[in-house]
Amino acid sequence: MSPERIWTFRVRHILDAIENILRYANFAYSLLMLVPTPRDRMVDQQGRPYFLWDVEMSLDEFEQSLHNADPETRSYLVGKLMRQAKPDDVLQFVSPQQLADLWPSVDRYLGKSRVFWT
């Protein structure tokens, strides 16, 4: 391999590494900046979270449904969460990777909040 090709390969490799570092640094910074609502302030006297104001479901039931529900129900609940909860609170229940994985099926439940999440 010529010295020129080796140099080009190394520079490309270094630039890729810098790009990855910046991507992870931005993600880590965003996690540090989150201010989620404490669980005790997230629910009303009946244990219903503020983002489920129109459904009779406790926070515990919501969390169980997120993990045990069929895929369509899970997509609906995650979409409702993304649509009605503070973004900081969404990440208490669903990881960024889960959001990415569910995106094709959640997208239709976001309504006007879709712009925010894209």
pLDDT in tens, 42-95: 999 888 999 999 999 999 999 999 887 788 899 999 999 999 999 989 999 998
Q: pLDDT tens digits for 10-42?
A: 778 787 877 877 777 666 665 566 788 888 899
Q: Give Cα separations from 73 to 48, 59, 66, 80 (angstroms).
A: 18, 16, 8, 10
pTM: 0.68
Label residues 55-70 b or e (16+ Cβ within 10 Å = b).
eebebeebeeebeeee
Distance of CA 92 to the CA centre of its chain: 9
Read off the tokens for 50.
Answer: 């503020």
Question: Which amino acid is present at 19?
Answer: E
